[in-house]
Chain A
């Protein structure tokens, strides 16, 4: 239904889809502008940064396509329309995810996929079947990790109500950070996104393995392959947080 309703204003749909494409492309344009002055950033070349950019963008794009509406939950808790979701015979989670489902979000994925495709033709990697397999696995695990963050953020909205922006700093902020090489950031920040909010598993750790770089924290090599396990763990945590949030929900009393 949301798909049909957004297609009703055709000119506007095209503009927003294009806008979504361009909005994310701007980040990459900034990177290109930076590389017009330099040859390496934090020891990484342009194709390598493009690889990081493409993988983090595509992973977030996938999660955003499915669960990007989750940040609207805060507004729903505030105006009381969450009650409507509770009485319908469909899981609340599915309803929140489908709320205002927006096809225009395809713009982000398309753009990230294009950059990723370009970078794959340029990075110097001795491709083996295992390494080829690692790329789609990265995207999948990355999307699941971001989806879990979206869900935890939404669960937090049950309590905080209008703190949707905090969630943005972990999802959109996280993806901005993952676009750049980990060597750019302070060690403590890298530790934070490895051990506290494990965004490093979206692309940094597997990408460092692919590109043959050491990770700045000096973790043992097998950690690079923990993506699926981390993604699974995040899902369990997100599910628990969501359940706790829903249980704690009190309707606005007026």
Chain B
């Protein structure tokens, strides 16, 4: 299959940069430690804040660091290359290829995410679990559900970034939009602070937005906040957003390619 090959090549491409991966692991671990201590201070003042006990809050921190690179939670994660191709006009070549543009980039992003999850996720998670109290589940079923949830989160993240990249067709320089999109993602995914700590109605509204699929939902699945039918509902929520956003990306793509004016040509 073409798309499987794209994903595999993308995996290998990211696996090539070993020093970059090692330095990413170091950074995620350092940030994890800093966050963990602030969460300890916060949860000592207010035990059971947001419905989490301290081990759960700490596990949330390390899940965030482990998923940071994989789901592209940080500003600038991922689609710069597609934006560059749109700006330079190379996209015209891509559109003539016998492959679907959105599926091609999705496959590439899945390959990238799979590598980042293993390369940059496992070590910070292990270090954090050894250094602090944790609430990791013993049941393999929960872990499996977690992995499915992460995969859905990656797809939602991709679909959002793909939409952002397509704005380059109209704006040419997409740096500004990417930045704003990155900020929204950081804040509304739970990376800055778990979403169930957000107060009142605002907190409830925030948990319904697509970004919560990228960290809050997978973390809650891992922490066992969702179990049984509730877990199914959580995964359906993510799948729903993934479908809606992918469809929106497809629509934007068809509008863009009908109107496209290639730079320099």
Which chain A residues have a beta carbon within 8 Å of chain B's beta carbons? 9, 11-16, 18-20, 22-23, 26-27, 29-30, 33-34, 36-38, 40-42, 160-166, 168-169, 173, 176-177, 180, 183-186, 189
From B24, B27, B41, give the contact of A42 (CB < 8 A).
B41
Inter-subunit contact A40/B30 (CB<8 Å): no
Contacting residues of chain B (148-205) with chain A, CB-CB under 8 angstroms: 171-177, 179-180, 182-183, 186-187, 192-193, 197-199
Check B247 for interface membership: any CB of A closer than 8 A: no
Residues in chain A near residue B186, CB distance under 8 A: 23, 26
CA distance A188 to B198 in the complex (A): 32
Residues in chain A near residue B177, CB distance under 8 A: 15
Inter-subunit contact A165/B26 (CB<8 Å): yes
Which residue of the partner chain A has the closest CB to B176? A15
Check B232 for interface membership: any CB of A closer than 8 A: no
CA distance A173 to B38 in the complex (A): 13
Residues in chain B near residue A37, CB distance under 8 A: 42, 45-46, 49, 197
CA distance A13 to B186 in the complex (A): 21
Inter-subunit contact B176/A173 (CB<8 Å): no
From B19, B46, B192, give the contact of A162 (CB < 8 A).
B19
Q: How close is B60's CB to chain A, nearest CB, in angstroms? A: 14
- 10 further A-B contacts with Cβ under 8 Å, apart from A9-B173, A15-B175, are A9-B176, A12-B171, A12-B176, A13-B176, A15-B177, A33-B193, A33-B198, A169-B30, A176-B34, A180-B37
Q: How large is the interface on B (under 10, 10 to 19, 20 to 34, 35 or more residues)?
A: 35 or more
Inter-subunit contact B23/A165 (CB<8 Å): yes
Which residue of the partner chain A has the closest CB to B33? A189
Residues in chain A near residue B180, CB distance under 8 A: 15, 18-19, 22
Which residue of the partner chain A has the closest CB to B45? A38
Check B22 for interface membership: any CB of A closer than 8 A: yes
Inter-subunit contact A19/B176 (CB<8 Å): yes
Inter-subunit contact A36/B199 (CB<8 Å): yes
What are the interface flags for B14-51 relative to A under an 8 Å C-beta threshold, 1 for contact and 0 otherwise? Answer: 00010110111011001101100110111001100100
With A14-B176, A16-B176, A16-B179 in contact, do A34 and B23 touch (Cβ < 8 Å)?
no
Q: How close is A49's CB to chain B, nearest CB, in angstroms? A: 10
Residues in chain B near residue A36, CB distance under 8 A: 199
Which residue of the partner chain B has the closest CB to A19? B179
Residues in chain B near residue A23, CB distance under 8 A: 75, 179, 182-183, 186
